Amino acid sequence: MSLSITPTTHVTTESRPFRVTLCLVALTLTAILLLAPLAVVFAEAFREGAAAALDMVSERDARAAIGLTLTVAAIAVPLNVIAGFAAAWAIAKFDFRGKAVLISLIDLPFSVSPVVAGLALVLLYGAHGVLGDWLAAHDLKVVFALPGIVLATLFITFPFVARELIPVMTEQGRAEEEAALTLGASGWHMIRTVTLPNVRWALLYGVLLCNARAMGEFGAVAVISGKIRGQTTTMPILIEMFYNEYLSVAAFSMAALLAGLALLTLALKSFLEWHHADAIAASRRH
Amino acid sequence: MIRPSPLPGFGLGMGILLMALTLVVLLPLGTLIGRGVLMGPVELWQHLGSKRVASALVLSFRSALVASAFNLVFGLLLAWVLTRYRFPGRRLVDAALDLPFALPTAVAGIALTALYAPNGTFGKLLEPLGLQVAYTEAGIWLALVFVGLPFVVRTVQPVIEEIDPEWEEASATLGASRLRTMVRVVLPMLTPALLTGFALALARSVGEYGSVIFIAGNLPNVTEIAPLLIVIRLEEYNYDAATAIGLAMLGISFAMLLLINLFQVWGRRRVGHV
């Protein structure tokens, strides 16, 4: 037997048949669990042709739902960005006690069921809720109206932007900001020209995830919206209504719109990951 | 309490954060807990004691555990394959794993139901085998597997990337088989991340509503999950019953997360450096 130098990787990897098996399992899982559901949405939506699908999403209730979903996202996402950036600024750039507790509180919505979140909001703002009488006296409607849907969306998406920004801003430290101040920049000027450009990719990443969740939230909105047709039905709620009325093509056409949005989100996210991997590497763990 | 810093805006940032956190998250949750305290333990227990509520709670936590255990095993497999192997379709698998984060749960719910209903693409194949997924507990598992799959993968992936091959080489040099190296060297390094991913998937799937209700069949005592029962009680304006179930879910979730956390602290102490 002749002496041959085996590649160093040999001892740190598995046998070839084992590797091939694992890859096949991974591909099968992806196909059955992830890609098949996505494909069936489009297949069911276009079952009676593209024209029928288009008719369904341009019908009056559907247009109202699309409008409402866009409105909710247009209000909730910017508010989330402001709160998330404020949170990250205070947490990442300053040292104070109780930081870990504060971060846990920001993450709290992750471990609360959306339905329980909706329930909590109803108990606070509903007609029989703690603030119910006060709201009624001032002619303010929260539950079964737009403000309630926005509040529910804000609850569910609360951690999204902050969680992306905190690790990146912590890693970047505060030297650059301090230099800007030394050179005479005002606070806002420093944020605009130093901090924001430094975190722009992580911020965009957070906004993408936040927006996807805001437009797709179901459980919390189902509880608080009252599902008044044409008024408080967001796109996901209308999907449920169509589906329960056996309007399969209508439900899946609406679903295809949201699935298209999800694909767009993923495409942008993949683009960000490939082109700005370093900037967001720190925020990957979630 | 705060270390002095030349940077401005701590007060403003913290002010905005605390105000938003209070108005959006803490005040509503506080109201829920407050209502439970006012009701008292006896009344809470009365609402939770009925067979229907108990079945729903047990079902929700059991199916979340089953699905998260599946996701723990296959999430590890996916993370390993994605970081260590190069094969055709790897990027597609990687990108597709974010789908559950981006796809609205209601869309996932009707899609899975269409696939696994007795006349669906997969349902038709399974029916001759006597297997029914849609409208059974298996359907709930399936939906929760879909929702929770990315959590383990995305938590474990960066940790595998950072493992220095030297550890595995050292283990092999000392005569360990590949299997022994995997079990005694690699797995302990991944355990904290695996547990974190498991906890995230569990927390998410216990409370999951949108993807489950379409495929579950929602038969009281059999396939009716706890969040659905909350929605039903709210529609009956039975706020006390809804509060009791909601608080039970919160309590059990936090207890489970605390347990996983303690396990992690114990594991870290035992393994030492990781």
Which ipTM score applies to this complex? 0.92
What letter represents residue A97's amino acid?
R
Residue A158: helix, strand or coil by DSSP? coil
Task: Give dist(CA B28, CA A151) in Å, integer.
Answer: 10
User: In B134-217, at which residue ranges do the beta strands (DSSP E only) sit?
Assistant: none
How far apart CA A195 and CA A103 sit, in angstroms, is 21
Nearest CA in chain A to B107: A255
Rounded CA separation A227/A233 (Å): 5
When CB atoms are compared, the residue of A40, A102, A115 closest to B230 is A115
Confidence band for B1, pLDDT divided at 50, 70 and 90? low
CA distance A196 to chain B (A): 14
How far is residue B120 CA from its own chain's centroid? Answer: 27
Q: pTM here?
A: 0.92
pLDDT at A7: 46
pLDDT along chain A (286 residues), means of 10: 48 85 96 96 94 91 96 97 96 92 93 96 91 90 94 96 93 91 90 92 92 95 92 96 95 96 90 72 49
The pLDDT tens digits for B225-260 are 999 999 999 999 999 999 999 999 999 999 998 898
How far apart, in whole angstroms, are the C-alpha atoms of residue A154 and residue A75? Answer: 9
| A-B contacts at Cβ under 8 angstroms | 297
Contact between A285 and B155 (Cβ < 8 Å): yes
Measured between alpha carbons, how far is A262 from A216 in angstroms, rounded to an integer?
A: 9
CA distance A263 to B95: 10
Nearest chain B Cα to A217, which residue?
B104
Indicate whether B69 pLDDT > 60.
yes
CA of B225, closest CA in chain A: separation in Å? Answer: 11
Neighbours of B196 (CB within 10 A): 20
Q: Dig out the tokens for A192 from the structure.
A: 């605009």
Contact list in B for residue A38 (CB cut-off 8 A) is 99, 103, 111
Instruction: Using CB atoms, pick whichever of B80, B95, B239 lies closest to residue A128.
Output: B239
Residue type, B168: E
**Which tokens sit at A144?**
């079964």
Phi, psi of A125 (to 5 degrees): -105, -10
Structural domains in chain B? 43-273 (1.10.3720.10)
**Both structure tokens of B45:** 């227990």
Question: Which residues have C-beta within 8 Å of that of residue A257, sequence separation ≥ 6?
Answer: A57, A66, A235
Q: How many CB atoms lie within 10 A of CB B20?
A: 22
Q: Are A226 and A144 in contact (CB under 8 A)?
A: yes
